Amino acid sequence: MRIGVNVLNFGPGTDPGRLRSWAQTVEGLGFDLLMVSDHVVVTPDVAAQYPAPFYEPFTTLSWLAGITSRVQLGTTVLIVPYRHPLLVARMAANLHQLSGGRLVLGVAVGWARQEFAALDVPFEQRGKLTDDALETMRAAWANEDDYRSGQIPIWVGGNSDAGIRRAVRLGDAWHPLGITLPWFREAVERLMVVAEKERRPVPRLAPRINLHLTAAPVTDPDRRAGVGTIEQIIDDLDELRRLGADAVILDPFNGDPDETRHPEAAWRALATVAAARMEQR
């Protein structure tokens, strides 16, 4: 099972130097994937959670591809309706080629109504727009010589039933975010039922979980995966592996924009996880 990190490409403490340090830390600790988020317009609803500056993911990953050599690069998640699908197909294909085949394209439909309005994209149609765009992108990669770049894995985000159906129909992996383990167990069963009904293969599992290291065990029955002591976090990763996860992305952002000014705590937590997993081996 591969382990990746959601790198903070937003917030008041983020700049090129900090992004470089994030990339060097993630690759240096031996993690398998480095992923970033996506917003185009930092409207008030976006800024409330992810304040400016917000570094555009394709631009950022292209730069980080030159700084790194081994780690896979990806989006968690690209908001598909924000860009023309042929533009996304070309940018993704070029980045995949330039990085030596390291791109993972995580996608979702989006949630920020004000951002949709600013981009003049109909919010209520975001599901259909996403489905149509993914089909267009796959067709472009398959049929146009200058789009071809080998297989770019598509991880479909979304914890809803619609997200599960989209992952089965159009994705290589299902990429739910911020999960609890009981919910995930039940959702995997739903995923398998949908795949059987659609007569399609079950997509791989690639959840994104929190990374919040605590000194004392967290006993809340609604504890999210990745929150707790290092023993709880390692147990969570082991359980996800047993449930069939092909990859797990750790998200060290706990919601305070000031964290972006002081990433050292997140880096220490990542180092603790890396060391614990090394001991397991």
**Cβ partners under 8 Å of residue 28, min gap 6:** none
User: Is 249 within 8 Å of 258 (Cβ atoms)?
Assistant: no
pLDDT digits (tens, 9 = 90+) for 206-251: 999 999 999 999 999 999 999 999 999 999 999 999 999 999 999 9
Q: Which CATH architecture has domain 2-280?
A: Alpha-Beta Barrel (3.20)
**Cβ partners under 8 Å of residue 257, min gap 6:** 11, 12, 50, 51
Per-residue DSSP letter, 94: H
Per-chain mean pLDDT for the chain: 97
Is it the case that residue 145 has pLDDT exceeding 90?
no
User: Is-above-0.75 flag for pTM?
Assistant: yes
Query: How far is Cα 150 from Cα 148, in angstroms, rounded to an integer?
Result: 6
Query: How far is Cα 271 from Cα 177, in angstroms, rounded to an integer?
Result: 22
Please, which pLDDT band fits residue 41 given cuts at 50, 70 and 90? very high
Give percent of the chain with pLDDT exceeding 70: 100
Pick the closest to residue 110 from 92, 90, 124, 97 (CA basis). 124
- Domain ranges within the chain, ordered by starting residue: 2-280
Q: What is the pLDDT of residue 6?
A: 98
